[in-house]
Amino acid sequence: SAHRIDVVSIFPSYFDGLTLSLLGKARESGILDLRIHDLRDWTSDRHRTVDDTPYGGGAGMVMKPEPWALALDDLAAGSDRPTIIFPSPAGEVFHQKTAREFSEREHLIIGCGRYEGIDERVFEYAATLGEVRLVSLGDYVLNGGEVAAMAMIEAVGRLIPGVVGNPDSLVEESHEDGLLEYPSYTKPSSWRDRAVPDILLSGNHAAIAAWRHEQQLARTESRRPDLLSD
Ligand code: ADE
């Protein structure tokens, strides 16, 4: 059974890039059933309105609840409690383990908000249809959920069995073992007076593995001490 991901956005063409590369191939081969939807298709007024002014006042516009409810009803129909993700700077932080968890879900629905947010009742309503997760890419603010959704789709998609051709390439990368990746080198062995570390040319696989692990620890300590203490 293919993994299904529905995305709802008022800028569906943001997601055109997902036809490229590994994820594009996964879609063509049927491993990944990725469907991009325009929220305005669930409006019924002449101007296809998706936003309105905020109760209580304040800057910007808020996304109206009804188009979201109609979209979620349609997309969740016939599905057994899908995981409904709303990218939001006010959500839990997205990590590799979140990507792993989402990659094990049969059906994800990702709702991309714009403007100053979505009417809060949408999240309550969505919780009647599936498991709702507000998820932040990190501690900074984007203009909307689209770029965050793209990042999550790529991180989740590549963990779906068969999407990345060689599964070995998934186990030795940054964040899978809680450490940053070791440095990589290719030919030539000397380039612009810079040599590849001798140990990598030694043929001693145990020594190479030990060196790589030391490099992982040193880099993590220097660049991401939070990964060692948290
Ligand atoms: N929408 C706006 N900012 C965001 C962020 N940091 N993460 C996820 N979605 C967002």
148: CA distance to ligand 1 center in Å?
6
What pLDDT is attached to residue 221? 98
126: CA distance to ligand 1 center in Å?
19
Using pLDDT thresholds of 50, 70 and 90, give the confidence band for residue 166: confident
What are the DSSP E strand ranges found in the chain? 3-9, 32-38, 51-52, 62-63, 83-93, 107-111, 131-136, 190-191, 194-195
Domain limits for position 60: 3-157
CA distances from 144 to 14, 45, 76, 115, 174 (A): 11, 23, 23, 7, 27
What pLDDT is attached to residue 225? 97
* CB of 140 shorter than 6 A to ligand 1: yes
Whether residue 163 has pLDDT greater than 90: no
What pLDDT is attached to residue 172? 73
Residues 179, 146 share a domain: no
Residues 116, 71 share a domain: yes
What pLDDT is attached to residue 27? 85
**pLDDT, tens digit, 9 for 90 and up, residues 30-46:** 899 999 999 999 999 99
What pLDDT is attached to residue 193? 98
- Looking at residue 176, which CATH number applies to its domain? 1.10.1270.20
Give the span between the Cα atoms of 189 and 192, in whole angstroms. 10
Number of domains in the chain: 2
Whether residue 92 has pLDDT greater than 80: yes
Residues 152, 44 share a domain: yes
Long-range contacts of 185-189 (CB under 8 A, 24+ apart): none
**pLDDT, tens digit, 9 for 90 and up, residues 93-147:** 999 999 999 999 999 999 999 868 999 999 999 999 999 999 999 999 999 999 9
User: What percent of the chain has a predicted confidence (pLDDT) above 70?
Assistant: 99
80: CA distance to ligand 1 center in Å?
27
Residues 176, 77 share a domain: no
